[in-house]
Chains A and B, each alone.
Chain A
Amino acid sequence: MSSSAVLLPGRPLALPASRRTQLLWLPPALSLLLWVASLATTNVENLPVGGLIPRFPLTYWAGLAIVVVSAISLTQSATLRHRHLLAHLGVLLAMLYATAPALEDAPHYTYTYKHIAISQYIELYGSVDKTIDIYHRWPGFFSLSAWFSQISGLLDPTSYAAWAEIYFTSLDALVVWAAVHAFTRSTRTAWQATLLFTVTNWIGQDYYSPQAFGYLLMLGVLLACMIALRADPGPFGRWVERLVVRVFRVRAEQRRTLVPAAPRGTVSRVLVLVVLLDAVLAATHQLTPYVLLLQMTALVLAGYFRPWWVSVAAGAATLGYLVPNYDFVVNTFGILTSADPLANATTKNADGVPVPGVALISHLALASLLVCFLGCFIGLVRRARRGLVGDAVMIGALAFSPILTLAAQNYGGEARLRVFLYALPWLCCGLTWLWSPEGEARRGLQLLLPTGITVGLTVCFVAFFLGREDINQLTPQEVGAAAYLFDPATVQPGAVVALMAPNFPARYGPLYFRLARADLPALSYDDFGQRHLVFPSDSDVAAAAAIIKDQNANGGYLVFSQGQEAWARDYQLYAPFGLKAFEGRVAQSPLFKLVYDQPTARIYELNP
């Protein structure tokens, strides 16, 4: 052994601090490499039940585990390293939200295409037609998208819509970080809440949609209020705080997070900003401004936000925009769907009986939702018991007030998911207080709780968000089939498009409004032809033709696609292979002729 290898007394065994800091770049870099490698080996053709989960190689899971665990550990270190945390967050966002667009050749979710259609309409006509549908009455997001398409040269939003999800989620994460920091004055809490927000936002509403944009604006309004309109509570707020003190037996002296008073000029600027963002939000989305109004009103009533008229201004913008559209909304949808909150919360938005794998994914999503609400509630109680009652009341108001929307709306069976979406940033803030009520770092065994919960929520996220990719995914051939149907050169105006199952882009292209759609409900269930569609016959094909003819349309088309087959399989709409067998009969029938033929989509035209 050479003398140089002998450790001299007093020589430090550990790496120097600068070297240790450099090593902190390793986990996100390694995760990024593993993710890129997994993208190269993941096959997205004919995805089975469970979507991408069974197709991901080990490298994906390894990369995800490394970046999540490393990020949690960094949020608990004595000195927070913001650049390293940012790198971790960036890689995590990419692994969760950019995987599908990186792997697939067309934007996922069939409902993305109806939004693309409105933007395409504006690009073509330079205006909207309020008689067509509700989207033309709330065109804020579509106007923005059409404008961006034209100035950027990406004339068809289909070319970039897939990437809207990572764009909006990244911006949401930035605003959530800023809002939680503005509220708690704790960068540690802000990082933890943002990390949790990223791994719990599985609702899938950050895609190319007015909801995604409206959500960002809503968070922006609340952030603006947090930085300049905070105040000590009024009589009602103090009464609520005293109630909390009594109910939860708070013994600690009450304290408040020190928020520097905003100068008068700042308040004026922020008020202008709030009015601008809220006015644009009112013209962008139908539901979000009302939830924001609920949240702001709760905090204004308690005196936590001042001046009081900020809530009135928001209400005026929101209701003022509704007034000219009121009749349309009432006659088409109705303002209130039901006054029963339980019914609104439990309305299903998918027919059929899910196969066990799909049911398990839904259970995991529900578990994630319950962990967030319950964990947040306990976190709020812990924060209050440390004497920070005002903080607990404010975050409680923001996180739990969206539940009130269930008193009026089921929002097409999605109300409970929207409630979770609107509450999410504040739920995540409250959840961090479960293990760290004052933003303090956790050590040793104390790390088990934040690590366990964050990893568990990440698993639930991947299960719901990427585990349903078998039905969310669309192939370019399916998009091509939709384009064929909505092209006036190939299909006459007034024709009817019949679907054997849901999950096909039923509206696409600037002329989407020219065709009617028939869902053929009799085909979607087991009473088709008075019996199960197990061994289809010519009489079944004749029955389908009769249903299409009954629409008195200018031509009829029957569409079969991979997405519909996946949906029918996952929700057991037909007996196994029943749909395939039926298509075989249609192909042989003289009643129909094949006019569009691709491996993942076929269109049959009804012969006159």
Chain B
Amino acid sequence: MAAQHQDRRGERRPEPPVQPDQLEPASAAFRYRLGLGVLAVTVLAVVLAAGGAPVALRAPVLLLAGTLVPGYALVVRLPVDAPTLLALDVCASLAVETAGAFVLVQVRYWHPMGLGLGLAVLSGGFALVAVQHLRAEAARGPA
């Protein structure tokens, strides 16, 4: 609907759409930095889990990795602001892990470390590709 309103001189002109205090989409630099963080957490999680590190150190890192890593590559290209990107990353990460664990349970092939390693390799690989693209993009600067 082409809504209209009157200005001070009484002339009618189209009503401006509501455009309040919104956040801008996250910059390539932010996505790149987030990607580097995701890669670092992935590597750390694999090292700690494979090396049998103390639970007090291993559990928080794996929780962070599980919350952020698998979803990063799925959502990093979405043109959304930083909090939305993080929110979608979290949901996607947990969903991917649940899908993987669910399949293992259903087919009675329970290998949690195998699943973790597989997810780390796949997610880390996709994240690495995304980070390289973003690096080039950030170097070119905003379009």
| A249 beta carbon closer than 8 Å to chain B | no
A131 CB to nearest B CB, Å:
15
A80-B21 CB under 8 A given contacts A217-B94, A269-B77: yes
B27 → chain A closest CB, angstroms? 15
A167–chain B nearest beta-carbon distance, Å: 8
CA distance A174 to B81 in the complex (A): 12
Tell yes or no: A426 within 8 A of B by CB. Answer: no
Given A256-B18, A273-B88, A438-B20, verify A152-B77 contact (CB < 8 Å). Answer: no
Knowing A153-B55, A223-B91, say if A148 contacts B62 (CB, 8 Å): yes
Chain B residues 27 to 82 lying within 8 A of chain A, measured CB to CB, are: 49, 52, 55, 58-59, 62-63, 66-67, 74-75, 77-81
With A144-B101, A146-B112 as known contacts, state yes or no: A181 contacts B83, CB within 8 Å.
yes
Count of inter-chain pairs, beta carbons less than 8 A: 191
Cα A253 to Cα B1 in complex, Å, equals 10
How many chain B residues touch A (Cβ–Cβ < 8 Å)? 55
Please give, as numbers and ranges, the residues of chain B lying within 8 Å of A236 by CB-CB distance: none
B132 within 8 A of A: no
A126-B110, A178-B83, A276-B92 are contacts. A253–B116 as well, Cβ < 8 Å?
Answer: no
Question: Is the Cβ of A269 less than 8 Å from the Cβ of B74?
Answer: yes
Known: A144-B97, A277-B91, A284-B98. A127 touches B18 (CB 8 A): no
Chain A, range 485-540, C-beta contacts under 8 Å to B? none
Given known pairs A127-B110, A253-B15, the reply for A182 and B102 (CB within 8 Å) is no
Contact A213 B110 (CB under 8 A): no
> Is B129's CB within 8 Å of the partner chain A?
no
The proximity string for A residues 128-143 relative to B, scoring 1 for CB distances below 8 Å and 0 otherwise, is 1000000000011101
Cα–Cα distance between A257 and B109 once the two chains are bound (Å):
50
Closest B residue to A124 using CB positions: B110
Q: How far is the CA of A439 from the CA of B21 in the complex (A)?
A: 8
Most chain A CB inside 10 Å of its own CB: which residue of B59, B81, B83, B95 = B95
Counting chain A CB atoms within 10 Å of each CB, which of B59, B83, B113 scores highest? B83
Residues of A within 8 A of B81 (CB): 178, 181
A154 within 8 A of B: yes
**B-side contacts of A167, CB under 8 Å:** 63
CA distance A188 to B17 in the complex (A): 18
A182 and B101 contact, Cβ closer than 8 Å, known pairs A217-B95, A254-B1, A257-B17? no
Interface residue stretch chosen among A258-266, A291-299, A442-450: A258-266
Contact A147 B116 (CB under 8 A): yes
Name which of A262, A277, A387 has the most chain B CB atoms within 10 A of its CB: A277
B86: nearest chain-A partner, CB-CB: A174
Main secondary structure of the interface of B (DSSP, over half): helix
Bound: A148/B60 CA distance, A: 11
Which residues of B sit under 8 angstroms from A424, Cβ to Cβ? Answer: none
- Contact partners of A279 in chain B: CB under 8 A: 99
Do A255 and B115 touch (CB < 8 A)?
Answer: no
A283 contacts across to B, CB distance below 8 A: 98, 102
CB pair A253 B20 closer than 8 Å: no
Cα–Cα distance between A265 and B78 once the two chains are bound (Å): 9
A147 pairs with B22, CB closer than 8 A: no
Q: Does A467 lie at the interface of the complex (its beta carbon under 8 Å from any beta carbon of B)?
A: no
Given A139-B105, A151-B116, A388-B18: A224 and B83 interface contact (C-beta under 8 Å): no
Question: CA–CA, A257 to B3, complex, Å?
Answer: 12
Are A187's CB and B21's CB within 8 A?
A: yes
- CB-based nearest B residue for A284: B98
Q: Is the CB of A150 within 8 A of B99?
A: no
Q: State whether the Cβ of B122 lies closer than 8 Å to any Cβ in chain A.
A: no
Q: Is A266 in contact with B102, judged by CB distance below 8 angstroms? A: no
A478 to B67, CA, bound (A): 32
B20: contacting residue among A186, A213, A220, CB under 8 A: A186
Return the chain A residue nearest B97 by Cβ. Answer: A144
Residue numbers in B under 8 Å from A270 (CB-CB): 78
Contact flag A213-B94 (CB < 8 Å), given A181-B84, A266-B79: yes
Closest chain A residue, CB of each to CB of B45: A151
Interface string of A425-453 (1 = CB under 8 A from B): 00000000000001100000000000000
Given contacts A178-B87, A223-B84, contact A185 B99 (CB under 8 A): no
Contacts known (A220-B88, A223-B88, A227-B80); A438 close to B18, Cβ less than 8 A = yes
A contact residues around B102 at 8 Å (CB): 139-140, 143-144, 280, 283
Query: In the bound complex, do residue A265 and residue B77 qualify as a contact, i.e. CB atoms below 8 Å apart?
Result: yes
Decide: A227 near B99, CB < 8 A? Known: A217-B91, A217-B94. Answer: no
Q: A175-B91, A186-B21, A253-B15 are in contact. Are A122 and B59 (CB under 8 A)?
A: no
| Cβ–Cβ contact A253 & B95, under 8 A | no
Chain B residues with CB below 8 A from A269, complex form: 74-75, 77-78
> For the complex, is A177 an interface residue (Cβ under 8 Å from B)?
yes
Task: Kindly report which residue of chain B lies nearest to residue A227, judged by CB atoms.
Answer: B80
Neighbour of B3 across the interface among A152, A154, A387, CB < 8 A: A387
Chain B proximity of A9: nearest CB distance (Å): 38
Q: Which of A177, A188, A258 contacts B21 (CB 8 A)?
A: A188
Residue A184 lies at the interface, judged by CB distance under 8 Å to chain B = yes
Shortest Cβ gap from A123 to chain B (Å)? 8
Is B139 positioned at the interface, with any CB of A under 8 Å from its CB?
A: no
23 cross-chain CB contacts under 8 A: A126-B105, A126-B108, A143-B101, A143-B104, A144-B98, A146-B112, A147-B101, A147-B112, A152-B49, A152-B63, A178-B86, A187-B23, A216-B94, A217-B91, A220-B88, A253-B4, A253-B15, A257-B17, A273-B91, A276-B96, A277-B91, A277-B92, A284-B98
Q: Which residues of B contact A (CB under 8 A)?
A: 1, 3-5, 15, 17-23, 49, 52, 55, 58-59, 62-63, 66-67, 74-75, 77-81, 83-84, 86-88, 90-92, 94-102, 104-106, 108-110, 112-113, 115-116
Q: Please provide the 10 A-B residue pairs with the shortest distance between their CB atoms, ordered closest to farther.
A: A126-B110, A220-B91, A143-B101, A258-B17, A150-B112, A185-B22, A186-B20, A147-B101, A153-B55, A178-B87
